[in-house]
């Protein structure tokens, strides 16, 4: 299989495609999959979203990173809005709920965003090598 480039798209475009569940390489809008199952390879460019264990570790790291960034933003916002009468019990319950549900909600976005990061890393390796 030959490697294909992202058609000269800039890195931000590639990352945004991944963040909105589009193929980061070609921009195809519809990628068939379930919520947990990885998308099938892109029918237009052949990009695989489940290549190996490294890809699995990668999207999990992206998933947890986004979860924790959103959690910190949520917590800081709640603190600022409710200060000085912070509802600690409610905030603790909300923290548990957020950290238990967000990783599941972010699974498909994490997979396509990690694929975008891999497309960018392939680009940094230089010109495409023969298969
Ligand atoms: Zn594609």
Cα radius of gyration rounded to whole Å, the chain: 18
Q: How far is the CA of 26 from the centre of ligand 1 (A)?
A: 4
Q: Which residue has the tokens 């912070």?
A: 86
- Range of 32's domain? 11-120
- Does the residue 125 lie in any domain? no
Tokens linked to 115: 């694929």
- Does the residue 43 lie in any domain? yes
* Cα 80 to chain centroid, rounded: 28
Domain total for the chain?
Answer: 1
Q: State yes or no: pLDDT of 130 exceeds 60.
A: no
- Does the residue 78 lie in any domain? yes
- Does the residue 1 lie in any domain? no
Q: How far is the CA of 95 from the centre of ligand 1 (A)?
A: 36
Tokens linked to 17: 């495609």
CA nearest neighbour of 4 among 39, 37, 28, 29: 28
Q: Reduced to 3 states, what is the DSSP secondary structure of residue 99?
A: helix
How many residues does the structure list for the chain? 131
- Does the residue 16 lie in any domain? yes
pLDDT tens-digit readout, 68-86:
999 999 999 999 999 999 9
pLDDT of residue 1: 40
- Global pTM value: 0.81
Q: How far is the CA of 128 from the centre of ligand 1 (A)?
A: 16
What backbone phi and psi angles, to 5 degrees, belong to 24? -65, -25
pLDDT tens-digit readout, 19-39:
999 999 999 987 777 888 888
């Amino acid at each position: 299989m030959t490697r294909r480039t992202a058609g000269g798209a800039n890195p931000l475009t590639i990352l945004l495609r991944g963040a909105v569940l589009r193929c980061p390489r070609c921009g195809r809008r519809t990628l068939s999959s379930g919520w947990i199952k990885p998308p099938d390879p892109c029918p237009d460019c052949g990009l695989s979203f489940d290549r190996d264990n490294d890809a699995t570790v990668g999207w999990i790291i992206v998933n947890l990173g986004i979860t924790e960034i959103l959690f910190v933003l949520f917590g800081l916002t709640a603190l600022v809005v409710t200060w000085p009468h912070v509802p600690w019990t409610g905030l603790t319950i909300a923290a548990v709920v957020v950290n238990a549900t967000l990783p599941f909600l972010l699974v498909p976005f994490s997979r396509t965003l990690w694929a975008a990061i891999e497309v960018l890393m392939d680009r940094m390796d230089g010109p495409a090598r023969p298969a």
